[in-house]
Chain A
């Protein structure tokens, strides 16, 4: 009963390095959302993807951040030249389609930038 799988669970990067976060959606799900969560703050939407398409990236910073969901393989959230302010928990969620389906979340990747 594979849920949403995210790896790594913890990632430490020095300022200026690149961070790659991976997400495999639940079986049968082709819609992926990425969220960022900071302590004492809610989940902030970043990007919504379907296979091979970015549907909505309105929550993602224009620079240094990118996301993809290829035909084969996991969805990737990529952060280039990380800064301390990028330290946060990044959650991936998947849903079954464009209908009124709930999101199902992974356990997140906790990024620490030193």
Chain B
């Protein structure tokens, strides 16, 4: 069965304290791994797509990497405005399977 698991469920960081979020997956026929950011009361906002092991993408303080079994979202020197829930999703066939997310809180 296709599965996506994110860890940790929640993460509290001091401003400037770098860390990583994990997304592990078991799917057949991966067509892409996607990272999203979701703020309370809003829909998920697209961040990155990764297609193959070894691929990396960067945007401001965020960097996403992909291996054959998992993806990491690295957050460098986070700021309070980075506080949000980060979701990963994998695509197989027509379907996108989402993890339950990591709730990130960055404390000033």
Among A41, A98, A103: residue with most chain B CB under 10 A: A103
Selecting from B36-44, B63-71, B76-84, the interface stretch reads: B36-44
Chain B residues 1 to 58 lying within 8 A of chain A, measured CB to CB, are 4, 31-32, 34, 36, 41-46, 49, 51
Q: Is the CB of B100 within 8 A of A103?
A: no
Chain B residues with Cβ under 8 A from A104's Cβ? 46
Establish whether residues A42 and B101, one from each chain, have CB atoms under 8 Å apart when the complex forms. Answer: yes
Minimum CB–CB distance for A4 against chain B, Å: 7
CB distance from A1 to the nearest CB of B (A): 14
Contact A56 B95 (CB under 8 A): yes
B interface: dominant SS: strand
Residues B97 and A45 in contact, CB atoms below 8 Å apart: yes
Are B95 and A105 touching (Cβ within 8 A)? no
In the docked arrangement, what's the CA distance between A6 and B45, Å? 15
Instruction: Output the nearest chain A residue to B4 by Cβ-Cβ distance.
Output: A42
Interface range on chain B (Cβ under 8 Å from partner): 20 to 34
Shortest Cβ distance from A7 into chain B, in angstroms?
13
| A69 touches B (CB below 8 Å) | no
| Residue pair A42, B99 in contact (C-beta under 8 Å) | yes
Task: Name the CB-closest residue of B to A58.
Answer: B95
Q: Within the assembled complex, what's the spacing in Å between the Cα atoms of A100 and B94?
A: 10
A56 to B96, CA, bound (A): 12
Q: How far is the CB of B23 from chain A (nearest CB, A)?
A: 12
Bound CA span A33–B96, Å:
9
A8 to B48, CA, bound (A): 29
Which of chain B's residues have a CB closer than 8 A to the CB of A103?
34, 44, 46, 89, 96
Q: What residues of chain B have their CB less than 8 Å away from a CB belonging to chain A?
A: 4, 31-32, 34, 36, 41-46, 49, 51, 87, 89, 91, 94-101
With A48-B94, A100-B31 known, 14 other A-B pairs at CB within 8 A are A6-B43, A40-B100, A45-B96, A45-B97, A56-B95, A100-B32, A100-B49, A100-B51, A102-B49, A103-B34, A103-B44, A105-B46, A106-B43, A107-B43
